[in-house]
Amino acid sequence: MDQPLSIELRHLVYCGILMLVLWVPYILAELKLTGVAKALSYPDERLLPQWGRRLKHAHYNLVENMAPFAIAVLAGELMDVHTGVTAACAVVFFWARVLHPVAQVTRIWGTRTITFAAGVAATAVYLGEILRLTA
């Protein structure tokens, strides 16, 4: 395939990579804290350091938000909908999801909500653009 990935599909791939690596720090913290045997069972999340629990929650939140975003990107690819709006939405979603765990761990007032809302809004606008152009 000589055709490059669209901006939207490229950012979906970037989000997939982010989802694959985001769990590594909190799992390493869990391994260090509880040991391999306990970590391989069902360890008590309350034993994780607070930053680890926050990062785990950010990871789960990304997993939950990936489905609607992936649906938007894949629908856009199937329908060949590529506009400045869809490209911007993909970029905003990705960077919002990169910044969300940072905001979650650093606990800077308002940043977690802003980054979450930016990602959700980007997905909603993206889906709206697809529906508008394919109606």
Count the domains in the chain. Answer: 1
Range of the domain at 64: 7-22+50-134
Torsion angle, alpha carbons of 32, 35, 40, 44, to 10? -80
Give me the CATH number covering residue 85: 1.20.120.550
CA-based nearest residue to 19, from 73, 66, 69: 66
Assigned domain for 29 exists: no
Cβ contact 74:81 at 8 Å: no
Please write the tens of the pLDDT for every residue from 65-123. Answer: 999 999 999 999 999 999 999 999 999 999 999 999 999 999 999 999 999 999 999 99
Assigned domain for 33 exists: no
pTM over 0.85: yes
Q: Which amino acid is at 102?
A: V
